Structure 1
Amino acid sequence: MEWILEPWPWFVSGPLIAAIMFLLLFGGKTFGMSSNLRTMCTIGGAGNKVDFFAFDWKSQRWNLAVVAGAIIGGFIAANFLSTDTAVAINPDTISTLENLGFSSAGEAYLPDELFATDALSNPKSLIILFIGGILIGFGARYAGGCTSGHAISGLSNLQLPSLIAVVGFFIGGLLMIHLLFPLIF
């Protein structure tokens, strides 16, 4: 059972993802996490005010189960299946992040400087998280889906818009980390 405590290699996780995608395609479903926000807004009654949210949310119940599974699975993995919280990243990257003020670099998946409870009292952290949340929400809506929806489901369906979106995600990520990240921090 030692293998379950380690990150799974691509030749295990990749075919598992492919099998899930095959089952979804076979069942006529498409995968995407950001579409669940629309479903949750509809459940909350937003369909009474805005036509975009007026749809049969019950047809998307299966996708809400995916979100619940991701949350529960992440909790179980982080709290019961993880033996070490250290992240194996390049020492040069750790040094660069420490120079930018991230003393927790390489120790955890999420930097304490942005995501710890103490960070909620820091105005700069709150502004970064707020603006980042708006940009991610707007981007996912504008692109017609999130990274998981386009990269996994859209590319599996051989959709050209998904290929363009995924290329855009990579270009945006490179621009962010190499140009904007050093300016912000």
Structure 2
Amino acid sequence: MEYILNPWPWYVSGPLITLVMALLLYFGKTFGMSSNLRTMCAIGGAGKFSDFFKFNWKDQTWNLIVVLGALIGGFIATQYLSNNTPTNLNPLTVSELQNMGFKNAGANLVPNEIFALETLNLKNLLLLIVGGLLVGFGTRYAGGCTSGHAITGLSSLQKPSLIAVIGFFIGGLIMANLMLPLIFEL
């Protein structure tokens, strides 16, 4: 008999995230993935070129373990805990994506039409580079990333995080519903 793995339900993963956040708050730590890039740049000597990277990065080494755990956990989840069943998307969403040129919507974690090496062209390369730069700028401008603001900031009742999360959602809705269709019509 084959055992089919499913994602962890919210009532397991939610309390685990809550437990981690409670421990971080208790120990006076904050969580966010983008702050790790600053730490890695500081380790690499970026403080010689910018004051932004001049800080005691050794105080943040614990957070680098979080990145390592995310990488290892992601590998374990995709290699051993996935059942390779396509994501069950709304038929209207599938139809809209097919109209934009996405053949197998929901079949992979990311669409092959953008991220596969076989489909790498100037348009996709520009989309990835410009998107990466905008995400990086937005993260720096907002003072953190989605995980930092949405998990740490909201759990510690920070008003700037609430504003940032609302902005993230509005930006995501605009991108998904207005910009993406325009980009893929080109």
| Residue 14 (structure 2) aligns with | 14
Q: Secondary structure at the match of 1:89?
A: coil
1-side partners of 2:3 and 2:15: how far apart? 17
| Residue 178 (structure 1) aligns with | 177
Q: Which amino acid is 1:64 matched to?
A: L
Cα displacement (A) at 1:60: 0.4
What's the TM-score, normalizing by structure 1?
0.95
Q: Secondary structure at the match of 2:135?
A: helix
- Answer yes or no: is 1:124 the counterpart of 2:123: yes
2-side partners of 1:131 and 1:95: how far apart? 27
Equivalent residues of 1:24, 1:31 under 8 A apart: yes
Q: List runs of 5+ in structure 1 lacking aligned partners.
A: none
- Answer yes or no: is 1:140 the counterpart of 2:139: yes
Cα displacement (A) at 1:38: 0.3
Q: List runs of 5+ in structure 2 lacking aligned partners.
A: none
Q: Tell which has more relative contact order, 1 or 2 (C-alpha 8 A, sep 6+).
A: 2
1-side partners of 2:67 and 2:89: how far apart? 28
Aligned length: 183
| Residue 96 (structure 1) aligns with | 96
Q: What RMSD, in angstroms, separates the aligned Cα atoms of the two structures?
A: 1.4
| Residue 56 (structure 2) aligns with | 56
1-side partners of 2:175 and 2:117: how far apart? 25
Q: Secondary structure at the match of 1:5?
A: coil
Cα displacement (A) at 1:85: 4.5
Q: Which amino acid is 1:50 matched to?
A: S
Equivalent residues of 2:7, 2:82 under 8 A apart: no
2-side partners of 1:146 and 1:37: how far apart? 11
Deviations 1:41-82 (A, max 9, x none): 001110111111011111101100000110111011111111
What's the TM-score, normalizing by structure 2?
0.95
Equivalent residues of 1:119, 1:126 under 8 A apart: no
Q: Secondary structure at the match of 1:42?
A: helix
Cα displacement (A) at 1:114: 0.8
- Aligned-pair identity (%): 66
1-side partners of 2:104 and 2:149: how far apart? 32
2-side partners of 1:67 and 1:5: how far apart? 25
Q: Structure 1 pair 63/41, CA: closer, same or farther in 2 (3 Å)?
A: same
Cα displacement (A) at 1:104: 2.3
Which stretch of the first structure deviates more once superposed, 86-95 or 151-160? 86-95
Q: Which amino acid is 1:134 matched to?
A: L
2-side partners of 1:3 and 1:85: how far apart? 13
Q: Structure 1 pair 142/15, CA: closer, same or farther in 2 (3 Å)?
A: same
Task: Show structure 1 runs of 4+ deviating over 3 A.
Answer: none
